[in-house]
Amino acid sequence: MNIYDFNVKNIKGEEVSLADYKGKVVLIVNTASKCGFTPQYEGLEALYKKYKDRGFIILGFPSNQFLAQEPGSAEEVQSFCKLNFGVTFPLFAKTDVRGKSAAPLFTYLSDAAPFQGFETDKEMGKLIQQVVSEHYPENVEGNGIKWNFTKFLVSRDGNTVTRFEPTVTPEELEPAVKAAL
């Protein structure tokens, strides 16, 4: 099994096969418009523009599972991303990314790239660990996604998955993207 075995709904509600991205390096990100990490959209868009012609794609999956930080409709999410950050990479339907209601793709990704811990050497890493522990103590254990802007980098063959926690910025992620290309 790899990511090409999954179908998802795009922001317009249309079914999309991830097999459409075969041969590309894929970065899958769970996003939210009202999160402290939302400014990462800018860096993600810059990364996408820089490498899209070399076979790189970013897939953004809005999720409202963490402090209701993605409350808007699909149209509102798309408009927010375009107007505020110029997002041109594909966005998908609002998706549950953890727990019993998690989309199968995110269960697969979380299992394929287990949680390695928060970056507690960074201030935001300490903060996110505190927020998760306080508001979602059940999220601390296991490999499930802990917060918005968790990123999964998938190799061109769809098999190798590397996980980056929310505190890893798109700029810090760039060397891994370049190496995968």
Q: Which domains does the chain have, with CATH numbers?
A: 3-180 (3.40.30.10)
Catalytic position from the list 28, 35, 91, 103: 35
pLDDT at residue number 73: 95
Structure tokens at 57: 């794609």
Q: Which residues of the chain have pLDDT under 50?
A: none
Residue 90 has a pLDDT of 98
Told to judge if 35 belongs to the known catalytic residues of this protein, a careful annotator would answer yes
User: What CA–CA distance (Å, rounded) separates 109 from 97?
Assistant: 10
Q: Which amino acid is at 160?
A: T
Task: Give the per-residue pLDDT at 55.
Answer: 98
The confidence score (pLDDT) of residue 89 equals 98
Yes or no: say if 17 and 50 are a contact pair by the CB < 8 Å rule.
Answer: no
d(CA 120, CA 129): 8
> pLDDT value at position 156?
95
Alpha-carbon span 43 to 87, nearest angstrom: 10
User: Are 91 and 11 a contacting pair, CB within 8 Å?
Assistant: yes
SS3 of residue 125 by DSSP? helix
Strand, coil or helix: 153:
strand
pLDDT at 94: 97
